[in-house]
Structure 1
């Protein structure tokens, strides 16, 4: 767990909803927010894992199991946040992921629709609910967890990357629509050590990055805390890229991979 900031209590008395919170980035964010004084509503599909995650945080956490695409889940989670503090101060749209993916011109449209539903439509549903039930009156901060895939063209991930690119632009649109009382920002992580990236050769990938290491869930949680707190009070409609320098390696990856694997020629 990331250490609490020197001025612990940046979210004291506030209520936050974190989707995809049973593990990885979502759980790291929920833990940090609770350490900073927030009551956190954790949302995820795996009820057992989610309950264990909430129990690891303690009384400052409430678990709401269900699909983030389900309006009933959204209603129960917003109810829980309102019951805890009377408001919804922070929403972290973290749940997402690639369904079966591949070239856009060849994939079944049902797979493309699934990617849009989970990664773009669902975050909008959560934002609309938070706005209607609390933020319209009280204000708040929204952070959408996207991906550097939304800023690039990763191979065989066309639907996921397209959905994340849409999420980044929707962040800008909503920031324009909902300011000044509500701030909307995004984070675009690179490869982070989570269950979702377990197939990645972390050591080999880390060697080609300027930072020389793979991202950790706490790296993203720290940025989410900054965007959710008053410290970013004049920031809205922005995307923070946290990728260890992955995107700036464009044009240099070829040599890096050759050095690691001894393949090819300059």
Structure 2
């Protein structure tokens, strides 16, 4: 049996990269998927790829009204929400802490931390209505260890790590599991690859202890594990998928 048969998943940032790879795998495993993205062209292209199993929805995850509308669209089209993958995010340039523009910091916070918080907050009633469900967040290896030039980004992703811990405890009695994935250096659309994942992953031995970049499909596999009953006793976990970056 397919592991997500009859499930409905909402994935933010699903127009490209890790989100799109996850949507592709979830559909293959039987799910209906909401492709939520701020890039309407990418979202539509992804939804077209998946046919009747997907719809495209515009979302700015930093805006509460957009997040609520995204979830309402899932219920209107597919009848419910079982899984929310708060995946949308970005890192920006590597730069010293004192060089980070204040307006950029606000945007970084709005997408990478506030967006995750809003997703969790507004999906709760939908998941409670089903008797439970799953929330997955995209944190980062940089939320678990420091890296020169990424202090601001790491702070936001560290916030996602802490939010995941707290939300898992708050929602356990509702049978809602909350976990995060902490990617290392993954080659995605935001790093110059094609949005549909068709670009060849370049060689770069320094990307991880395993001597290569991670692939978007490897994040998707971790998300499938956390979304499915394979992880039915797993909550409050921040899972590095980083080729050994955190271990170093």
For normalisation by structure 2, the TM-score amounts to 0.90
Tell me what 1:195 maps to. Answer: 189
Residue 229 (structure 1) aligned with residue 222 (structure 2) = no
Tell me what 2:40 maps to. Answer: 47
Shift of 1:167: 0.2
CA contact (8 A) 2:34 2:55 kept: yes
CA contact (8 A) 1:28 1:217 kept: yes
Residue 168 (structure 1) aligned with residue 161 (structure 2) = yes
Shift of 1:208: 6.6
Q: After TM superposition, list the pairs within 5 Å mapping 1:97-246 onto structure 2.
A: 97-99=90-92, 102-132=95-125, 134-138=126-130, 139-180=132-173, 181-198=175-192, 202-204=202-204, 206=205, 209-246=208-245
- Cα RMSD between the aligned structures? 1.9
CA contact (8 A) 2:185 2:208 kept: no
- Structure 1 unaligned spans of 5+: 1-6, 251-266
Shift of 1:46: 1.4
Count of residues paired in the alignment: 239
Measured in 2, the distance between the counterparts of 1:30 and 1:244 equals 22
Measured in 1, the distance between the counterparts of 2:202 and 2:150 equals 19
Q: Tell me the alpha carbon deviations over residues 22-64 of structure 1, each in whole angstroms, 9 at most, x when there is no partner.
A: 0100000011111111110011111112101110011000100
Shift of 1:150: 0.7
Task: Name the SS of the counterpart of 1:179 in structure 2.
Answer: helix
Shift of 1:207: 5.4
Measured in 2, the distance between the counterparts of 1:81 and 1:124 equals 19
Shift of 1:174: 0.1
Residue 95 (structure 1) aligned with residue 88 (structure 2) = yes
User: Does 1 or 2 have the higher relative contact order (CA < 8 Å, sep 6+)?
Assistant: 2
Shift of 1:242: 0.7
For normalisation by structure 1, the TM-score amounts to 0.84
